[in-house]
Amino acid sequence: MEVYYNSTRSKGMQVKASEAILKGLSDDGGLFVPDKIPALDKTLRELSEMTYAETAYEVMKLYLTDFTEKELKDCIQKAYDDKFDTREIVPMAEAKGVHFLELFYGPTIAFKDMALSILPHLLTTSAKKNHVENEIVILTATSGDTGKAALAGFADVENTRIIVFYPKNGVSPIQERQMVTQKGKNTYVAGIHGNFDDAQTGVKKIFGDKELAAFMNGKGFQFSSANSINIGRLVPQIVYYVYAYAKLLKEGKIGEGERINVVVPTGNFGNILAAFYAKQMGLPLAKLICASNENKVLFDFFRTGTYDRNREFVLTTSPSMDILISSNLERLIYRLTGNCPEKNKELMDALSGSGSYRITEEMKAGLLDFYGNYADEEETADTIRDFYEEAGYVLDPHTAVAASVYQKYRKETKDETKTVIVSTASPYKFTRSVMDAIEPGHRELGDFELADALEALSGVKEPDAVSEIKEAPILHDRVCGKDEMKKVVLDILAID
Ligand SMILES: *Cc1c(COP(=O)(O)O)cnc(C)c1O
């Protein structure tokens, strides 16, 4: 059954999967959504005998219906290989009576690798299918995590180049080192004198420059983005929910048809939306528990029906969740309007105008699958310490937000349903916050020394992703002013 993609903001923009992946965003500014959610066509018992790659094929083929079997299998094989530190790709752990789905064994030790390791292959395949002959130039502005994951994903992928801009003094030492040591003949990294917003604004300006686009086209290049709203990032994220359920079934941890809860540390709402799609496909999921940090826009939204970004932006120890506009929520809102682009657009226009919107009671009734709550900084640190002391299991701060919210949920609802907490980063990515929680008093140590201290304390081996970059040579040292980004791009492409 063919699946097409519609825009959330107007009718008549329907495209095929490969076109949606190439475009990223619809021309009307909307997000692409599948015109129907396909049902799983294998039983969970059958799926329980499959590897991660096999499961990925069974799920993704239902969405990317204009890809041939060979095209899709090639993409999957290139993505989920020995770039991952474990052959299982996504192992599961158990601590204090709850299951953890560990999505941090990819090249950057965080969950964005799950999608960014396959997106480049989906994108180049989509380009071929649509007879795009230009070389694709990926431009990304990063506050730290996405940049490295995109660099690692696109490194040495044929017919692509990737250019990442980051705020020179606005990322952690480990994050910067990860990026500037990136190998690959098509990878470029530039620090800018400015903050993340400057980098983001600069990239948007380049994307919007029609004259530049025409000039580039004449030279055989076109821009694309690896943005988290691309359906090429959303679809691969559905896979691990199916895989996790099937694995629990195989191991006898749950029975046939038994429903489970999932808890997702949330920022842009992409990961938890994938869980929602998995549920719509027939996966027996009960509550989708949306965990926020002190930037609790989503918690307030689930409670009141009003989405309001007009508030102070809080810098927390779970920076990848420091977000006030959760872009992927638009896909859920669209669904709650009964797939009505006009109503959805009205709400999104209100969001970009006044910074808030309110959904109707009827729409709010459609949110029953979700439960939202949040954890403050102290609760997050306490949770890291509790899990370490009581179970010897070390959580990163993002996962700790989820574990803390889950405790609140249990207390509030007395729900005993078996539960999977989605673990989105390795504790080694945030050694300072983790060590501060477990054993404070390491002020004098640098981030890399803290990794050694964490290894000694936890007995969990330091991932190669951290040890490798300690000694790795610096390969990128470009720095530019925030108004020079376009010039840097032209320099890199040698077409100025
Ligand atoms: C991006 C990220 C999140 C948030 O995921 P969304 O899909 O944006 O909700 C949570 N944890 C970590 C470590 C991340 O990198």
Q: List the one residue out of 350, 334, 351 whose CA is nearest residue 342.
A: 334
3-state secondary structure of 68: coil
Contacts 24+ apart (CB under 8 A), 43-46: 44/245, 44/246, 44/249, 44/256, 44/283, 44/284, 45/249, 45/256
How far, in Å, CA of 359 to CA of 343, rounded?
Answer: 10
Which residue has its alpha carbon closest to ligand 1 atom 14? 320
Burial of residue 378 (CB within 10 Å: 0-12, 13-18, 19+) is: exposed
DSSP class of residue 140 equals E
Q: List the one residue out of 39, 34, 41, 40 whose CA is nearest residue 3.
A: 34
Tokens matching residue 194? 């400015």
| pLDDT for residue 484 | 96
Beta-ladder partners of 249 = none
Asked whether the beta carbons of 263 and 421 are under 8 A apart, the reply is: yes
3-state secondary structure of 151: helix
Could you tell me how far CA 369 lies from the centroid of its own chain? 21
Could you tell me how far CA 357 lies from the centroid of its own chain? 25
Query: Which ligand 1 atom is nearest residue 104's CA?
Result: 13
Which of 59-82 are b and which e, b meaning 16 or more Cβ less than 10 Å from the residue's Cβ? bbbbbbbbbeeebbbebbebbbee
CA of residue 160 to ligand 1 center, whole Å: 25
CA of residue 371 to ligand 1 center, whole Å: 18
DSSP class of residue 98 equals E
Tokens matching residue 401? 């937000």
Q: Determine if ligand 1 sits within 6 Å of the CB of residue 430.
A: no
pTM of the model: 0.94
Q: Determine if ligand 1 sits within 6 Å of the CB of residue 263.
A: no
Q: Determine if ligand 1 sits within 6 Å of the CB of residue 266.
A: yes
CA of residue 321 to ligand 1 center, whole Å: 6
Total number of residues shown for the chain? 496
From 142, 233, 268, mutation site for ligand 1 pocket: most ligand atoms within 8 A of C-beta:
268
Query: Which ligand 1 atom is nearest residue 267's CA?
Result: 9
Q: List the one residue out of 221, 169, 215, 220 whose CA is nearest residue 196.
A: 169
How far, in Å, CA of 225 to CA of 64, rounded?
Answer: 19
Distance set, CA 158 to CA 85, 139, 187, 280 (Å): 24, 16, 12, 36
Tokens matching residue 326? 């959760």
| pLDDT for residue 496 | 65
Q: Determine if ligand 1 sits within 6 Å of the CB of residue 233.
A: no
How far, in Å, CA of 269 to CA of 127, rounded?
Answer: 27
Per-residue confidence in pLDDT tens, the chain, 496 aa: 899 999 999 998 899 999 999 988 898 989 999 999 999 999 999 999 999 999 999 999 999 999 999 999 999 999 999 999 999 999 999 999 999 999 999 999 999 999 999 999 999 999 999 999 999 999 998 877 889 999 999 999 999 999 999 999 888 788 899 999 999 999 999 999 988 878 888 998 898 899 999 999 999 999 988 888 899 999 999 999 999 999 999 999 999 999 999 999 999 999 999 999 999 999 999 999 999 999 999 999 999 999 999 999 898 999 889 888 889 999 999 999 999 999 999 999 999 899 999 999 999 999 999 999 999 999 999 999 999 999 999 999 999 999 999 999 999 999 999 999 999 999 999 999 999 999 988 888 888 899 999 999 988 899 988 888 888 999 999 999 999 999 999 999 987 6
Which residue has its alpha carbon closest to ligand 1 atom 2? 320
Strand pairing of 187-193 and 478-481? parallel
Strands (E) across 79-238 are located at 92-95, 98-102, 135-141, 160-167, 187-193, 221-224
How far, in Å, CA of 327 to CA of 318, rounded?
Answer: 18
Place of tokens 């896909």: 331
Q: Determine if ligand 1 sits within 6 Å of the CB of residue 232.
A: no
Q: List the one residue out of 204, 372, 273, 236 whose CA is nearest residue 31.
A: 273
| pLDDT for residue 136 | 94
Query: What is the 3-state secondary structure of 110-126?
Result: ECHHHHHCCHHHHHHHH
CA atoms within 13 A on the CB side of 4: 7
How far, in Å, CA of 157 to CA of 185, rounded?
Answer: 9
Amino acid at 487: K
CA of residue 320 to ligand 1 center, whole Å: 5
CA of residue 336 to ligand 1 center, whole Å: 23
CA of residue 97 to ligand 1 center, whole Å: 24
Catalytic residues: 112
Asked whether the beta carbons of 165 and 137 are under 8 A apart, the reply is: no
Q: Determine if ligand 1 sits within 6 Å of the CB of residue 265.
A: yes
First to last CA, the chain: 47
Q: List the one residue out of 328, 331, 319 whose CA is nearest residue 424.
A: 319
List of residues 6+ apart from 494 with CB closer than 8 A = none
